[in-house]
A = this chain, B = another copy of it.
């Protein structure tokens, strides 16, 4: 049986009230002797307070729940590192959940986290549980990360997708590659995807180029599916001079597909993408990307959340923080 506050109180011959005071650092309201006495007993017994009991009473768990869309994506893990570091520095624990791009799983996690009475939530949402999230947000602060949801009026941190796409399209056109295909996952409902598609159209328009339907390709992130999509677009009467992947996973899938089809990058076609990651430069060829400051985004999300937790009443109105993406030029366009 684990030792409880009663055991400590008994051994130290004081009431559990006093022990509680000690545990909560209210040393001024007890004699030096009792304090040292309790300290010693705690040490002897290896006593640790039961966080469940404490939280039940205090109605605070000092715990934040985070749900990421896909833990296998370096984009997510890098954000999480930012969240985590900030939480740690400020005395909060993190419960990390992986929705695996599955709205059902996401819903379950949202409920479990709420049931466990987390103090706040950081969510990289799938976009299909807005009702629930809005509801939870009535009782606890929520910060949305990466994917914003207009109908949920809460702190959001994301990056400027349209600007990012524009940067890249400008770059490609400067290199003379104006026939640009954009490869995206199904994008309805999911904000950065929608915005990147929008950004694609707008950026082309800004160069006086019309968006050709066959160059805007929507495919799931399945190896075979991407290969088929690549083959199709290359076999079209007007094949592209570059393929732009909507995120890192799509970009890698495209590179894989091209390799499998024995098509040389950048000789036969250029490949670029949204999102950077540690070993992007090791890819053959090192791939030119638009990079988001993921770690900083994670830190910012945690900052916003904890600020809200510390301020008595929900004072501030929701902030939407937009980070600036950056062009990282490597070799996949023949630069």
Contact = CB atoms under 8 A, between A and B. Distances in A.
A95 B84 CA distance: 13
Interface in A22-73: 46, 48-53, 55-56, 61, 63, 71-72
A109 to B, nearest CB: 8
A259 to B, nearest CB: 7
Nearest to A52: B56
B282 A49 contact: no
Interface string A1-41: 01000000000000000000000000000000000000000
A135 B255 CA distance: 49
Contacts of A252: 278-279, 282
Given A93-B112, A111-B48, A116-B52, A78 B72 contact: yes
A51 B282 contact: no
A63 to B, nearest CB: 8
A61 to B, nearest CB: 7
A51 B98 contact: no
Interface string A67-108: 000011010011011001000100001111110100001001
A151 interface: no
A61 B52 contact: yes
Given A52-B116, A284-B285, A71 B61 contact: no
Contact of A55 (B52, B88, B282): B52
A53 B95 CA distance: 18
B282 A72 contact: no
Copies of this chain, complex-wide, total 2
A107 to B, nearest CB: 13
Contacts of A49: 115
A207 interface: no
Interface residues of A, number: 50
A134 interface: no
A105 B88 contact: yes
Contacts of A283: 279, 282-284
A241 to B, nearest CB: 21
Which residue among A105, A112, A116 has the maximum number of chain B CB atoms within 10 Å of its CB? A116
Contacts of A116: 51-52, 63, 93
A-B pairs, top 5 by smallest CB distance, nearest first, are A284-B284, A51-B115, A96-B96, A52-B56, A51-B116
29 contacts: A48-B111, A50-B56, A50-B115, A50-B117, A51-B112, A51-B117, A52-B55, A56-B56, A71-B77, A71-B84, A72-B74, A72-B81, A74-B74, A80-B98, A81-B100, A88-B105, A88-B108, A93-B116, A95-B95, A96-B97, A252-B279, A252-B282, A256-B279, A259-B281, A259-B282, A283-B283, A283-B284, A284-B284, A284-B285
